[in-house]
Chains A and B, each alone.
Chain A
Amino acid sequence: DSGVTQTPKHLITATGQRVTLRCSPRSGDLSVYWYQQSLDQGLQFLIQYYNGEERAKGNILERFSAQQFPDLHSELNLSSLELGDSALYFCASSVGAGVGTGELFFGEGSRLTVL
């Protein structure tokens, strides 16, 4: 158990809908990262928050947004969903702002299926 909690584990929805994925980082970790994993693209970085502030941004679509709350949990909002958004979404956390200060701890992921 990594200590990172993601909900829901599975989600099935229709095109055009909006969903929210939630992540609780390990106790004491200030950084939260979101990654998207699809079959042929590996782990694609979406966005990082550190202590409530956006720290780094990857190839995150404009239809996607995220935030980190004062209690350090994070939510990833996916809207106007398309079939191609079907993927496994991972949240990870680390102690510091940069990964070089320690490892990333991953949750078990939220599997999103868009029909």
Chain B
Amino acid sequence: GENVEQHPSTLSVQEGDSAVIKCTYSDSASNYFPWYKQELGKGPQLIIDIRSNVGEKKDQRIAVTLNKTAKHFSLHITETQPEDSAVYFCAAIINTPLVFGKGTRLSVIA
């Protein structure tokens, strides 16, 4: 089955700096790569996703890039703000179920 590795496990950045979280996947047939944000005491929530026929997608301060050849994808957050502090999960899927990485705890220091 699919296996997703996520790095780093923790990340601290100064407010206003950029943050990058990287994931690799094992199954080249995976075709959908979402990112979820989990705030304290809440369930994960989808923030951005990308499909295998697209190399990059951007939504305001967040962007995701996909390199199918290398089987890795990354989340980029620019101009970080305190409210970006959360745990971020990458995931990959062929059909079902969604396989998640172990998460990255992002702390944005004001």
**Chain A residues proximal to chain B, CB less than 8 Å:** 2, 4, 31, 33, 35, 40-43, 45, 48, 55-56, 58, 90, 92, 97-100, 103-104, 106-109
Q: Which of A40, A56, A106 has the most CB of B within 10 A?
A: A106
B98 CB contact (under 8 Å) in A2, A99, A108, A109? A99
By the criterion CB–CB under 8 Å, are B43 and A33 in contact?
no
Residues of A close to B43: CB separation below 8 A: 2, 4, 90, 92, 106-109
- Give Cα A15 to B44, complex, Å: 29
B97 CB contact (under 8 Å) in A45, A107, A109? A45
By the criterion CB–CB under 8 Å, are B45 and A58 in contact?
no
By the criterion CB–CB under 8 Å, are B98 and A104 in contact?
yes
By the criterion CB–CB under 8 Å, are A99 and B41 in contact?
no
Interface residues of B in 53-110 (CB under 8 A from A): 89, 93-103
The smallest C-beta distance from B26 to any residue of chain A, in angstroms, reads: 15
Residues of B close to A90: CB separation below 8 A: 43-44
A-B pairs with beta carbons under 8 Å apart, 13 shown: A2-B45, A42-B89, A43-B103, A58-B97, A97-B96, A99-B93, A99-B97, A99-B98, A103-B49, A104-B36, A106-B36, A106-B45, A108-B42
